Structure 1
Amino acid sequence: MNPHFAALSLALLASTTACNAQPQAQPTAPVRSEAGLRVVPLTIRADGRAHLFQVEVAATPQEQGQGLMYRQTLAPNAGMIFPFEEPRIASFWMKNTLIPLDMVFIRADGTISSIAANTIPHSLTPVQSSEPVAAVLELAGGRAAELGIEAGDKVSW
């Protein structure tokens, strides 16, 4: 093969490869709520429909202890997810929580175990899961019933 032709072929190949190279995607910072918590999309599949939410993630013990305390409102498609490292019986109270909430107890496979609907603001009575769960989702009180969300539906985030 002609050495000039080989060099030209390599140069063309290099320039074509450089032209087709895609710019590296820059990592984006996670979306944060006003409270500084990471916000993620969450979907509940119920009766063949997908209900979309943007939820804050209460990941640390401190964030989970604070939860939605002192919030005066919660948008219809917002909420807070409390993921656990290992499934466990979850127990919540409504101390310093100003608005009613639906507590959606989620099994490790993503299905809803049960829903405590319209929990009572300021109540110190524990609201517990009936079995070990991997996460709890808090939504605005009455929202689960409004959307037809019930035990057995699938949650993903």
Structure 2
Amino acid sequence: MRWIVLAGSLVFASCRSSSAPVEPGAPARSVAPARVTPPARTGPSVRVLRQSGAPVDISVEVVREPRTRERGLMFRRDMDEDHGMIFVFPRPDHQVFWMHNTILPLDMIFIRADRTILGIVKNATPETDDPREVPGDSLYVLEVNGGFSDRHHLSAGDRVEFTDIPPASE
């Protein structure tokens, strides 16, 4: 019985208002909502420094080994808008990609050794084996959701910065 009385007292106490009473006719006070700061990015990321406009930040998975490069984003059903996968090659070369078993349409951003965008393959059609490439040698290829490059106005010549992405030579 004591437990029931104690539990009832706790429920009653928790229901009481903790705010001070408001006088009739007094203006209502509004409280500004707390400013919410987005969480800081953690882990590997790419920042594209566009030729005009604010930088674009992308959280990435880093792929360096031949076996994981071959698999890439195959079989993925979705990817957050600000996420992608960066392929790191051992040396600059003419890179050719395909969309075999890749369900998502992708933009493929080819990046030179000097970390400028060489070119972009936009909206690559899913589940096709057509070669996707741009003329020239690249050391990195960044895959993002199809249409990302247009939505964020990315273009050849934009500079790229890396955070927590080991150099290609390691």
Q: Could you tell me the TM-score, scaled by structure 2's length?
A: 0.69
The 5 A counterparts of 1:70-85 are 70-85=75-90
Structure 2: tracts of 5 or more residues without a match? 1-41, 163-170
- Of residues 114, 127, 137, the one that matches 1:109 is 114
What value does the CA root-mean-square deviation take over the aligned residues? 1.1
Aligned equivalents of 2:87, 2:134: Cα separation in 1: 13
Which of 1 and 2 has greater Rg? 2
Q: Specify which structure has the higher proportion of strand.
A: 1
2:134 & 2:140 partners in 1: Cα distance? 10
In the superposition, the TM-score normalised over structure 1's length comes to 0.74
SS at match of 1:118: strand
1:1-157 matches, cutoff 5 A? 39-46=43-50, 47-157=52-162
Q: CA deviation at 1:53?
A: 0.9
Match of 1:53, SS state, is strand
Query: Counting helix residues as a fraction of each chain, which structure ranks higher?
Result: 1
Map Cα deviations across residues 52-103 of structure 1 (whole Å, 9 max, x no partner).
1110001111110110000001111000000111100000000000010000
Gaps of 5+ in 1: 1-30, 32-38
Aligned pairs, how many?
120
How far is the alpha carbon of 1:113 from its aligned partner? 0.6
User: SS of 2:107's equivalent?
Assistant: strand
